[in-house]
Structures are given as structure tokens and as C-alpha cells.
Amino acid sequence: MPTLEITAMIGCPLKCTFCPQDKLRGLYGKNTKYFTLENFQTVISKVPKHVRIDFSGMAEPWANPNATKMLRHVLEQGFNVAIYTTLYGMSAENRAEVISLLQTHVAQVEVLNLHLPDAKGNMLGWRHSQEYEQNLTAFVQFGLSGALRRFEAMTMDSSGEVHPDLQHLGIKLGSFYGHTRAGNVEEQKIGEQAHCATPEHHSAVVCPFARFYDNNVCLPNGDVYLCCMDYGLQHKVGNLLTQGYYEMFASGGLSALQAENMQPRFSKESLCKTCDRATLVKVGDSHLMWT
Ligand code: SF4
């Protein structure tokens, strides 16, 4: 299913250990830090309506003060959305407006996922506040009301335990098993925590999530990258401020990746060859299909 994740800002203040922010910030450089509302609306005007807009990307969406206006814009434009948020940066006014928007456009909301701070301290930049706790309580009540198609909550802790400051709320979550985002996470930051080691695929590979490599991430300067693994900015698809959506895919940005992925060998030139999500394929006996 095609999706476009919006990275609303660069340099997420939450600094989660499983999220390689330093690498991203260093490679992105001094480009515009926050997605402006004007640039966001230009980008969205290029995107076909069957592409889901994800408020997730490589930073907490509400670390950008315009996030609620952005959400309103895409819902009013008729897009389906998915929201992955820590609620960081969300004021009480934002909370009321966001929940009201989700209620009004409930048929367009495919996922609401709340990412909570955990007992192992993986969300380094999080601090408790009464406003945060009230926002969390309101979103949990809304999620559990049954109005949404899919409501979920998570931590980055193998035990699923939330931060000590929140344990009085009695929230019990499932365990988390991390990964290295195809080799981009600095493993010393996650220490001994359970995670899938970075694989090396020596066969041809395809992405099971995006047959056309169209689960992309858009940065505040309009640059579009392969997917949510690409914190190393290795595979640029194009730029949605300067190109059209299909023009971007036809511009050849992904052709080297596709050629590498076709070949039955390991290659550092393809992020997919170190991705634990990739599907491994080989030529079938009849040569009619890959298996
Ligand atoms: S890196 Fe992984 S998730 Fe991204 S396109 Fe390749 S296989 Fe898919």
C-alpha cells in the first residue's frame, strides 16, 4: 500500500535510542529544520489521493507546532491517515482539536499508535508533565472507545513496562523487539536490549511492504527517501517541492537500488540487503516466477 510519511522536523528532541537521530541530522545538514505549512501544502498537492499520509516519519510530528494544522489539511483534502505519536509537544488545545478532527474524519483514520516512554529510559528526551498525562489519558480513552479501526500503544522496552512516572496509570503493554533500521541504529546506544541483529542478504530481495518502493518518507525540504529505514539518506527518490509524484519515481533515483535488489549477492549499495523486513527471492524451477 503506498504511503508517504511526513517528517515534520529534523532533530527530534525525544532522542529515542532506537532512532538514529544523530546520523540523520548530520546528513541533512543545515536545510530547513521544520516543515512549513506552505511547503507541506505544496507537497500534499502533488500526492495522489490513494496514498496514505502518515504522521510519523523520522521525528515526533507534534514537535512541529504546525502539526495539527497539517493534520486538518490532509483530512479535509480527503486523504486517509495513520498517526504515530508520543504526544510530545501537544498542548491541551491541540489535543482537543486533534481528537475532534479524528472523530469527524474517523473513516479516514487507519491507525492511531501511541508511543509511550518506557521503564528502560529509551525515550531520553521525555519529561513528565500534568499536561502530558492529561493528553495521554484523553487519547487512551478515545482509542478504547472503539471508534477507530486500529488503536494501539507501544513502548521500546522488551518488558513493555512504561516509565516509572506513568506506572500509577496501570497501563500494561506488550513486549517490544527492536531492530537496527537496516544497520542505521548505533548498537552501543541500545546496549544489551533485545533486538534483531542487522542481516546480510546474499540473495535477490523485494520489499514486502512496498512492491513499487512507495512507502516513502518526506523531509521538511521536500526530499523524499526510500522508507522509514533510510536514516542514512542513502536512497533519494526525488523532491516533492520541485517534482510531481510520478515524475519523481520516473527520475531514476531508485534505479540503482532496484538493480542491486535483483542480483543474487550482498551489496552495501542497497539498504534492503541489510533490512530484516526484506523478502528473499530466488529464481523458480520453471523460470516463470521468483519464489
Ligand atoms: S529497506 Fe526494508 S522496508 Fe525499506 S524498502 Fe527495503 S526492504 Fe522495504
Mutate to test the pocket of ligand 1, among 184, 227, 249 (most ligand atoms within 8 A of CB): 227
* pLDDT on residue 256: 96
Mutate to test the pocket of ligand 1, among 54, 272, 274 (most ligand atoms within 8 A of CB): 272
* pLDDT on residue 213: 97
Task: Please count the other Cβ atoms lying within 10 Å of the Cβ belonging to residue 56.
Answer: 22
Which of 41, 136, 131, 138 has the alpha carbon at shortest distance from 92?
Answer: 131
* pLDDT on residue 134: 98
Q: Order of strands, edge to edge, in the sheet holding 236-239?
A: 151-154, 109-115, 81-85, 52-55, 3-6, 215-218, 223-225, 236-239
* pLDDT on residue 31: 92
Distance CA 6, CA 53 (A): 7
209 Cβ below 6 A of ligand 1: yes
Q: What is the pLDDT along the chain (291 residues), one digit of tens a residue?
A: 899 999 999 999 999 999 999 999 999 999 999 999 999 999 999 999 999 999 998 999 999 999 999 999 999 999 999 999 999 999 999 999 999 999 999 999 999 999 999 999 999 999 999 999 999 999 999 999 999 999 999 999 999 999 999 999 999 899 999 899 999 998 888 888 889 899 999 999 999 999 999 999 999 999 999 999 999 999 999 999 999 999 999 999 999 999 999 999 999 999 999 999 999 998 877 777 777
111 Cβ below 6 A of ligand 1: no
pTM (2 d.p.): 0.96
278 Cβ below 6 A of ligand 1: yes
Distance CA 124, CA 126 (A): 6
Q: Rounded to the nearest whole angstrom, what is the distance from the C-alpha of residue 181 to the centroid of ligand 1?
A: 9
Atom 8 of ligand 1: nearest residue by CA position: 207
* pLDDT on residue 187: 80
217 Cβ below 6 A of ligand 1: no
Sign of the C-alpha dihedral computed for residues 6, 42, 93 and 146 taken in this order: negative
* pLDDT on residue 82: 98
83 Cβ below 6 A of ligand 1: no
Q: Output the nine-digit C-alpha cell for 59.
A: 521525528
> Which atom of ligand 1 lies nearest, measured to the CA of 205?
7
254 Cβ below 6 A of ligand 1: no
Q: How far is CA 261 from the centre of its chain?
A: 23
Q: Output the nine-digit C-alpha cell for 253.
A: 533515483
222 burial type by CB count under 10 A (0-12 exposed, 13-18 middle, 19+ buried): buried
Q: State the residue for C-alpha cell 482537543.
A: 96
